[in-house]
Amino acid sequence: MKKIVAETYYIRHCPNPNCDLRFPAPQDSGIGVNCPKCKTITKIAKEITLNHDIHSKNLEQTPSGSLEVVLDNVRSTFNVGAIFRTADGAGIAKIHLCGITPPPTNLKVHKTALGAQDSMPYEVHNNCIQLVKRLKQNGKRIWALEKTDISHNLQGIKIKPEDQDTVLIVGNEIVGIDPEVLTLSELHLHIPMTGIKGSLNVAVAFGIAVYNLLDID
């Protein structure tokens, strides 16, 4: 069951020809009445009504898939919030938050998740290694999203019906996945890169990976 929440925004335009800034601002918030760049009084160019589908908090949410995700010391609250939002859209069954990964009770995670924190089941764990060992003992297949000497290009790799108990691990923004966790992983996957950088933002990489692995239409 969903409820529709309407929210109105104005597209504001600065009439100063030397500025010409155009930007969105919430209706009746007072934000943007004066141009944030040059302080000229702005004009309303367009009104937009946004209709947000929000799951009822009175009903238990049922994930559409079985893939679980482990966040191994993902530090940024904004990355965690973005991952929650993507996980909800992709039908992820559960998110495991390990180490210093901030939970949705953190206001910055809450703000970025945009309500997904209410629909996504999650658990908090101090030690990722102990969690992964327990998941393996319970029959889970552990896959790590990390470029290593033995990693495979994730393109063309799909989670099939026989892989129903798969867990995907993503790691810290700087150091990646804990080396011992990588050792415990059955499969290492990487996203092909053609630019000068060797990695992507963790939330972006997560989105690319799960939508490729699950082959979501």
Q: pLDDT, tens digit, for every residue of 112-131?
A: 776 667 778 899 999 999 99
Are the CB atoms for 43 and 12 separated by under 8 Å? yes
**CATH assignment of 68-213, among 3.40.190.10, 3.40.50.720, 3.40.1280.10, 3.40.50.300:** 3.40.1280.10
Q: For residues 131 and 109, give the distance between their C-alpha atoms in angstroms, rounded to a whole number.
A: 22
Domain map (residue ranges) of the chain? 2-55, 68-213
Q: pLDDT, tens digit, for every residue of 202-217?
A: 999 999 999 999 876 6
pTM above 0.85, yes or no: no
Q: pLDDT, tens digit, for every residue of 150-178?
A: 999 999 898 876 666 899 999 999 999 99
Backbone phi, psi, residue 172, to 5°: -60, 145
Q: For residues 59 and 28, give the distance between their C-alpha atoms in angstroms, rounded to a whole number.
A: 32
Q: pLDDT, tens digit, for every residue of 34-85?
A: 999 999 999 999 999 877 555 444 434 444 568 999 999 999 999 999 999 8
